Amino acid sequence: MNYLDFYKLNEEPFSSAPDIKFYYNSAQHSKALVRLMYAVDSMKGLALLIGDIGTGKTTLARRMLDSLPEEEYESALLVIIHSGITADWLLKKIAMQLGIPDPSENKIALLSQLYGRLNELYEQHKKAVVLIDEAQMLKTKEMMEEFRGLLNLEAPDRKLITFVFFGLPEIEENLLLDSPLAQRVALKYRLESFNYESTEAYVKHRLGLAGNKDEIFAPEAIEKIHAYSKGIPRRINIISSNALFEGFLVKAKVIDSKIIDGVVADLGITGEKKETTATADVAEAIEGSFIVESVESSAAPAPAVQEIVQQRQKPSAPPAAPKQVQEPQRPAAVKAKPKKQEDQDEIDSILDKLEKGG
């Protein structure tokens, strides 16, 4: 018997992948999504979603892409995985994602193709929206000027293209490389970590989707998870999944706060069990281990530049939103874009790498 059987779970409830099947529409995510949807609906030009490490930015970006009806939007999600990316390269990728099959190598010609395509989309009453994840990696003045150029393209009543940058708060410093661009930020929202209620509901939501609606974590255990994780979803996942495994080893049907203490001490950087550890120190230790991981992963031979286009997915069941929170308007059905399997495989492997690295 493994721990999934022991806890009557059909699958791993706290996987590290930003799988939107497990999306939980927390009050924090919901507020962010409502604002971002408004920004793209009204074609505001440039919107920013910033948040600390592991707060759920990528999850939100994927969920947002999924929420943009295809009849209304020509949309794409690009993930920047290297800061060495050039402005020309990015421009070309954007052109391809917006449906220009053969983008020109010549910059002027490429810009004219883009302008033509954006106008065409405008005539078709479609909104061109490009979501950019890990946008803090866009770091050059040249890059910022390119975005500004695209944002200057306007129809009489609206911008022709809208970007949403998802990333760490340092995006804001990078934007200042081109202060006119910084001034064009029409909407900025900071994704906060979960409050206690959200952490509790999130843990239960994930366990429920994985097949068990019983009380596996005692209320004091959830309190500890919240305190140690500081409400950051990635930390919640790590602590909870380790707790399930430890709980299984000691055959605890209900996981209590002692198990959480033990797991959290084990997750310290040294890996040694500490006698007593202040919550904040442990949280930092967990954070620290991510930083080390991401440094290691960028040392591996990585493609110079890479992008993904997120394929839309239909969640098998509508996400359970907390009652007090209003879910943004979603279309009844979102058609999946046809996509070659090999592309999808590549996307999956990039996403895996991203997730492991960060």
Ligand X SMILES: Nc1ncnc2c1ncn2[C@@H]1O[C@H](COP(=O)(O)OP(=O)(O)OP(=O)(O)O)[C@@H](O)[C@H]1O
Instruction: Report how far residue 355's alpha carbon sits from residue 18's, in angstroms, rounded to the nearest whole number.
Output: 8
Residues 6+ apart with CB under 8 A from 300: none
113/136 with CB nearer ligand X: 136
102, HSE (Cβ side, Cα atoms, 13 Å): 0
Pick the stretch among 32-40, 56-64, 301-309, 328-336 that binds ligand X (CB under 6 A). 56-64
Place of tokens 């919107």: 47
Interface residue with ligand X, options 7, 9, 13, 24 (CB under 6 A): 24
Q: Give the closest residue to 83 by CA, choosing from 167, 149, 162.
A: 167
* Smallest distance, Mg ion to C-beta of residue 231, A: 17
Which residue has the CB atom at the shortest distance from ligand X? Answer: 56
Tally Cβ neighbours within 10 Å of residue 101: 7
Q: Give the closest residue to 180 by CA, choosing from 150, 134, 148.
A: 148
Q: Is 58 in the site for ligand X (CB under 6 A)?
A: yes
Q: Is 55 in the site for ligand X (CB under 6 A)?
A: yes
* Smallest distance, Mg ion to C-beta of residue 265, A: 27
Q: Is 226 in the site for ligand X (CB under 6 A)?
A: no
Q: Is 29 in the site for ligand X (CB under 6 A)?
A: yes
* Smallest distance, ligand X to C-beta of residue 249, A: 23
Q: Is 54 in the site for ligand X (CB under 6 A)?
A: yes
The strand pair at 127-133 and 161-167 is best described as parallel
Contact 303, 275 (CB under 8 A): no
Q: Is 217 in the site for ligand X (CB under 6 A)?
A: no
* Smallest distance, ligand X to C-beta of residue 17, A: 6
CA distances from 76 to 199, 257, 283, 337 (A): 30, 43, 34, 11
* Interface with Mg ion in residues 54-83 (CB under 5 A): 57-58
**Chain residues in the site for ligand X (CB under 6 A):** 16, 18-19, 22-24, 26, 29, 51, 53-59, 233-234, 237, 358
Q: Kindly list the residues in this chain that would bind Mg ion in the complex (CB under 5 A).
A: 57-58
